[in-house]
Amino acid sequence: MTDAPATPAARPITLITGASRGIGRAIAERLAADGHDLALTYRERRDAAEEVADACRALGARVELFEVDFADLEAADRLVPEVVAALGAMTGLVNNAGITGRIGGFLDAPIEESELVFRINVLAPIVVTRAAIAHMSTDLGGSGGAIVNISSGAATNGSPHTYVPYAMSKAALNILTLGTAREFAAAGVRVNTVSPGTTYTEIHAAAGRPNAPEERAPRIPMQRAGHPHEIAGAVAYLLSDDASYTTGTDIRVAGGN
């Protein structure tokens, strides 16, 4: 008697926000290598996003690109249904897109900038996560899924003299993880956080301090900033079956800080 041929397992379908560069790009390439099909968002750098998509396709992934500015919460709300229409039932979400605001003292941070930081880093993830959970929840007819929120070490150190409102926004994101993890644990949806320390990306130039990784290195126990692929590994683990009993937790990838 011969065994029946195994049915190939369905490929995970994962949405990554802000995947045109930096940590989001590294996550996309790692997940493509791990066998995910991908929905990738970018705000304005279409060429960079196309490059990431090509790299992921070369690794065997189906990839769709979505242009979305998360300052527009209505556009954020349309994203998950658009992804499902393009690729099929979504099994994973990585809330990665984020901004810091300009580096400086707390008294100098304009309130309009703090408002935008909260819109991109907190309100948009709430909107996208609600749509993702509504789609994934087994209580609502979905097949379950996993969500990873990209927070920051800033959430627990407050980032004095640097960007207190950004640190506040990431602390709020940590509670999005905890609350939704517990509310939807019995509905097949796992939610976790990855908290990078300072990582080599363009986010520091946008904050006005392109050399921040080198400047901060002496205060990091490992004496260096991280690389995007070192963050991506933790995300890949949390989205994998190896993490099937892991929810509501935070993996800090910060060189000892």
> Which residue numbers are catalytic?
166
CA dihedral of 158, 19, 124, 66, whole degrees rounded to 10: 170
Cα 254 to Cα 194: distance, rounded to the nearest angstrom: 10
Among 23, 90, 146, 181, indicate the residue that binds ligand NDP (CB under 6 A): 23
101 binds ligand NDP (CB under 6 A): no
53 binds ligand NDP (CB under 6 A): no
Collapsing DSSP to helix, strand or coil, 46 comes out as: helix
163 binds ligand NDP (CB under 6 A): no
Among 15, 16, 20, 247, indicate the residue that binds ligand NDP (CB under 6 A): 20
Q: Which residues contact 169 (CB under 8 A, 6 or more apart)?
A: 98, 117, 118, 121, 122
216 binds ligand NDP (CB under 6 A): no
Among 203, 220, 238, 251, indicate the residue that binds ligand NDP (CB under 6 A): 203
22 binds ligand NDP (CB under 6 A): yes
252 binds ligand NDP (CB under 6 A): no
Q: Closer to ligand NDP at the Cβ: 142 or 155?
A: 155
209 binds ligand NDP (CB under 6 A): no
Q: Closer to ligand NDP at the Cβ: 42 or 184?
A: 42
Q: Which stretch binds ligand NDP (CB under 6 A): 56-64, 90-98, 130-138, 244-252?
A: 90-98
Contact call for residues 191 and 173 (beta carbons, < 8 A)? no
Q: Which stretch binds ligand NDP (CB under 6 A): 81-89, 131-139, 196-204, 240-248?
A: 196-204
DSSP track, 114-179: HHHHHIIIIIHHHHHHHHHHHHH-GGGT---EEEEEE--THHHH--TTT-HHHHHHHHHHHHHHHH
Cα 40 to Cα 67: distance, rounded to the nearest angstrom: 9
- Crossing angle, helix 73-87 and helix 124-136, to 10 degrees? 30
Among 54, 202, 214, 242, indicate the residue that binds ligand NDP (CB under 6 A): 202
